[in-house]
Amino acid sequence: MVLSALSLDQVTIGAFFGLLISLPIALFLVYWLSAVKNRTAVILGGLAGAIIAFLVILAWAGTLIFPNPINGANGASAFFGGLLLCSAAGLIGGIIADLIVARRNNRDYRRQVSHE
């Protein structure tokens, strides 16, 4: 049902290219800001956040839920909206994954108490 709802109209193509350009930005920032040893989990969290934002754009303005895009939605607005929203959501997803990994392995991130 979802695959039949994904038509290749302007909104879908614009949001997809916004996602593609936002991935290097979001994943680089997530990798750079990460404070945990397991950076793969942080990168996967950033990727999941960006893909969820892409699906939100398609559900909101595209044809994922409704048969026609909303009025006023075109490829350029979907591109820039996808670029901004997917970058922000990828960064948020990576930060949340970073916090989850740090909480589960908190003994690796505690400071050593120095005795004098």
pLDDT digits (tens, 9 = 90+) for 28-40: 999 998 888 888 9
pLDDT recorded at residue 111: 65
pLDDT digits (tens, 9 = 90+) for 68-86: 888 888 889 999 999 999 9
Token reading at 73? 């939605």
Mean pLDDT of 41-56: 95
For residue 4, is pLDDT > 70? Answer: no
pLDDT recorded at residue 22: 96
- Amino acid of residue 92: I
Element (H, E) at 16: helix 10-33
For residue 89, is pLDDT > 70? Answer: yes
Please tell me what DSSP assigns to residue 71.
Answer: T
Mean pLDDT of the residues in the chain? 86
**Spans of all domains in the chain:** 2-104
- Amino acid of residue 59: A
The length of the chain in residues reads 116
